[in-house]
Amino acid sequence: MVNKKVTVTNRVGLHARPATFFIQKANEFKSSIWVEHDDRRVNAKSLLGILSLGIVKDTEIDIIANGADEKEAVEALVALLQKGFDGYPNT
């Protein structure tokens, strides 16, 4: 299991469009992946789960993965969040 803290830096947090891009990236991996915030853990491949966390700009979250490609999954999702979704439209 791999776990890493990251701060969401894009202007709208993980709402609607950026959450969709985040989920698409998570679905590229076979590992089970979760996002944890305020003692709540949701499936990183679930739009409703991600949206239910209400993650806004400058919120610190944990990304947790378990499986064959867990390290790569966490690294890719952390990189996406650290770049503030650069290159993604309307985020």
Q: CA 42 to CA 77: how far, in whole Å?
A: 15
- 8-state DSSP, 53: T
Annotated catalytic, 15?
yes
Dihedral angle sign, alpha carbons of residues 23, 28, 3, 81: negative
Specify the 3-state DSSP secondary structure of 57: coil
Please pick, among 2, 9, 12, 15, the residue that the annotation labels catalytic: 15
Name the residues annotated as catalytic: 15
